[in-house]
Amino acid sequence: MATKRTPSNLLGSKVCILLCILSIGDMSCTAEESSKYRSGLQYAFYKHSCPRAELIVHQVVRSAVEKEARMAASLLRLHFHDCFVQGCDGSLLLKTVPGVIESEQDAAPNLNSVRGFDVVDSMKAALERECPGVVSCADILAMAARDSVGLGGGPRYSVLLGRRDSRTANKALANKNLPGFSFNVSDLVANFANVGLSAHDMVVLSGGHTIGKAGCDKFAERLTVNPKDPAPLDPSYRKYLSQLCPEGANTAADVNLDVKTPIRFDNAYYSNLLKNRGLLHSDQVLYSTQGFSHDQVLLYAHSNRAWFTDFVKSITKMGSLSPITAYNEGEIRKKCGYVNP
Ligand code: HEM
Ligand SMILES: *[C@@H]1O[C@H](CO)[C@@H](O)[C@H](O)[C@H]1NC(C)=O
């Protein structure tokens, strides 16, 4: 691709140079590489318009996580489910308004499952008090995800900001784009490719399941021994799970996704997979299916550092999926659940 020095190219290469300094981007700062970050997002976007924005989000996340450790997981998942549906635009947060908005929260992968909206609302309220009409809900999700990762002991990283909020939601697209827990590796690869993420990103970001919980209905099928299952559970782990879900899929319980260190953001997610202790089918297949994903799981199981480095790159890429950045598009919502009147 021929590269002209337009202002946006200049911005792209600056961002790339910064990424290189932080060594979270690709080390070779070619025009091609810098173009990957030419999403219009910036580090320290609120430096002048709302200098304490990142601090305020951090404080709210910290107190919410102190109250309930799982909230870190729930907030991280919100950013993921936002970005996979028409980009990181806060669309997930919109509530149903009959005839106007069909909430993505009612799509199958989200229904009775995504949580943390009260915490998002209190971050938004605190930010509106500090600097009204400045910080978008989409950026709140990106910042809260970053803080949740860090508070759990994960990598600390600078987060790209400057997203604006959508005035639409798309429930049908949420049903189509969000991955299913019964997916095999090829389904997962296709699902991530559909939004512009690679197979490599898919394995890296699946490690998000190092924190948080899943309902019994998401893995009950795996509790019955099936000789044809390409990704069977470790028998002792299966017995343990059967005790936690005595009524199978009808048990209203949530079970830790990472059996070893459930609230620590670490590579135990990957080392569990080596012992067939991945809770969801979509987790275990990454190791049980021979090929690139198996090899990548092995690498991360043995190197927390390698996973952290790759996680920062992949979540930055996920956070840059089709943001709204043009000043005449989208808006800065006053309340995250509703478009501005
Ligand atoms: C690879 C495909 C993925 C599938 C099939 C998947 C599926 C699921 C399912 C079924 C649950 C349990 C929901 C419930 O029982 O209510 C869950 C929870 C969770 N997912 Fe994923 N997920 C995937 C990728 C990701 C990614 C990329 C992230 C973030 C980087 C992520 C973060 C989480 C977190 C943190 C939780 C726990 C949430 C909580 O405890 O509130 N997942 N996921
Ligand atoms: C993965 O699952 C899909 C159905 O979701 C199926 O068509 C495909 O053959 C499976 N691929 C492998 C490699 O098992």
pLDDT of residue 116: 98
pLDDT of residue 27: 38
Asked whether 269 and 207 are in contact (CB, 8 A), the reply is yes
Asked whether 226 and 297 are in contact (CB, 8 A), the reply is no
pLDDT of residue 56: 98
Q: Is the pLDDT of residue 226 over 50?
A: yes
Most ligand 1 atoms within 8 A of CB, residue of 206, 263, 307 to mutate: 206
CA of 210 to the centre of ligand 1 (A): 10
What domains does the chain contain, in order, with CATH numbers?
10-178 (1.10.520.10), 203-313 (1.10.420.10)
Q: Is the pLDDT of residue 329 over 80?
A: yes
pLDDT of residue 8: 40
Tell me what the mean pLDDT of segment 90-118 comes to: 98
Q: Is the pLDDT of residue 315 over 50?
A: yes
Nearest alpha carbon, ligand 2 atom 7: 187
Percent of the chain surpassing pLDDT 90 = 89
Q: Per residue in 74-92, pLDDT tens?
A: 999 999 999 999 999 999 9
User: Catalytic positions, please?
Assistant: 81
Q: Per residue in 166-194, pLDDT tens?
A: 999 999 999 999 999 999 999 999 999 99
- Give φ, ψ of 256 to 5 degrees: -60, 130
pLDDT of residue 5: 35
CA of 204 to the centre of ligand 1 (A): 13
* CB 70 less than 6 A from any atom of ligand 1: yes
Asked whether 169 and 92 are in contact (CB, 8 A), the reply is yes
pLDDT of residue 39: 82
Asked whether 36 and 318 are in contact (CB, 8 A), the reply is no
Tell me what the mean pLDDT of segment 317-335 comes to: 97
Output the DSSP codes for 221-275: GGGS--TT-SSPPPHHHHHHHHHH-TTGGG---EEESSSSSTTS-STHHHHHHHT
- The pLDDT confidence band at residue 305, using thresholds 50, 70 and 90, is very high
Q: Is the pLDDT of residue 255 over 60?
A: yes
**Angle at CA 162, nearest 5°, toward 21 and 66?**
80
- 57, 223, 228, 242 from 280: Cα distances, Å: 31, 11, 16, 14
Q: Per residue in 21-64, pLDDT tens?
A: 344 433 333 333 343 445 899 999 999 999 999 999 999 999 99
Which residues have a Cβ under 8 Å from the Cβ of 327 and sit 6 or more positions away? none
Strand partners, 331: 165
Q: Is the pLDDT of residue 251 over 50?
A: yes
pLDDT of residue 12: 42
Q: Is the pLDDT of residue 233 over 60?
A: yes
Asked whether 141 and 82 are in contact (CB, 8 A), the reply is yes
CA of 104 to the centre of ligand 2 (A): 27
Q: Is the pLDDT of residue 72 over 60?
A: yes
Asked whether 159 and 75 are in contact (CB, 8 A), the reply is no
pLDDT of residue 17: 40
Q: Is the pLDDT of residue 68 over 70?
A: yes
Q: Let me know if 137 is exposed, middle or buried by CB neighbors in 10 A (0-12, 13-18, 19+).
A: buried
- For the chain, the average pLDDT equals 91
